[in-house]
Amino acid sequence: MAPRSYTFSHAVTRRPSAAIVDGLRAVDLGAPDLATFMQHHKDYVAALKSTGAEVLELAELEAFPDSVFVEDAALCLQQAAILMRPGAPSRLDEAQQMRPVLEKIYGSVLAIEGPGTIEGGDILVTEREILVGRSERTGAAGIAELEAQVTPLGYQLREVHTPPGVLHFKTDCSLLDHTTILATARLAASGCFEGYDVIETADGEEACANAIRFNQIVLFPAGFPKTLAKLHAAGYSVVEIGNSEAAKLDGGMSCLSLRFSPQG
Ligand code: CIR
């Protein structure tokens, strides 16, 4: 059977809007450039499509500066899509913007009702479990609500910790295959990947830990040669995508899509 954690028939993306200059960021490294962001986004969508997947490209949403980062608004599993409840107040209603899109695909959707919060960037689905990192955006109540929704679907959820000062759990890690995770040394040192094989990002290249395995390829941010060499040496087929503009808003490869193979 095809691995459900990295085999996808579909993806959803949303075009960046001019409002990205108002996107949230931990450190101000300057405003992202829309034209460059759009080019990177185009390359990203083309890479997803190159695997044979169907990509639904949603129109930009000026009212939500961070809405290009669609991953935070929902968790898409084979059997169900679950709308998240983002912890950033300016992003809370992004989940409702995603509702009609996912209802059309899945027929109906589940939702985190609150009061807790949880963002997709803190959720790593592997072949054997769902890891959720507690963070500034994702708290115990949100995680408990998600657990109550995914347990009946046959998933095991494990709560872990996003490192302090790191936006999301997946800022620091990615799934590469059934048993292999790409992670920063600081996250791997927490012991949360016991039982997995870990490829650590090279020293000074922590910012490339957020990649995605999507069907036969790994989408990986451009500009991290030492870690790229490690992935090549391990036999992965890597496609580099420019990420300079998304990175100014603490975004990376996973944030830019929802990935799924819905099964009715
Ligand atoms: C935010 O702070 O919410 C956005 N500027 C970045 C979101 C990145 N999303 C992700 O890691 N899943």
Domain ranges in the chain are: 10-260
CATH number given to 10-260: 3.75.10.10
Partners of 160 in beta bridges? 133
- Cβ of residue 206 lying under 6 Å from some atom of ligand 1: no
Ligand 1 centroid, distance to 146 Cα (angstroms): 19
Q: What is the CA radius of gyration of the chain?
A: 17
Q: Which pLDDT band, with edges at 50, 70 and 90, does 263 fall under? A: confident
At 141-176, the pLDDT tens digits run 999 999 999 999 999 999 999 999 999 999 999 999
At 99-148, the pLDDT tens digits run 999 999 999 999 999 999 999 999 999 999 999 999 999 999 999 999 99
Ligand 1 centroid, distance to 251 Cα (angstroms): 5
- Residues designated catalytic: 168, 255
Contact 192, 147 (CB under 8 A): no
- Cβ of residue 122 lying under 6 Å from some atom of ligand 1: no
129-to-115, 173, 177 alpha-carbon distances in Å: 25, 15, 13
- Of ligand 1's listed atoms, the one at least distance from the Cα of 249 is 5
Instruction: Please state the pTM of the whole predicted model.
Output: 0.97
Ligand 1 centroid, distance to 219 Cα (angstroms): 17
- Cβ of residue 21 lying under 6 Å from some atom of ligand 1: no
Partners of 174 in beta bridges? 182
At 205-225, the pLDDT tens digits run 999 999 999 999 999 999 999
Tell me the best of 68, 69, 123 to mutate to test the pocket of ligand 1, counting ligand atoms within 8 Å of each CB and taking the most: 69
Q: How far apart are the first and last CA of the chain?
A: 17
Give the residue whose CA is nearest to atom 2 of ligand 1: 24
Q: Is the pLDDT of residue 1 over 90?
A: no
- Cβ of residue 88 lying under 6 Å from some atom of ligand 1: yes
User: Whole-angstrom Cα distance, residue 193 to residue 180?
Assistant: 9
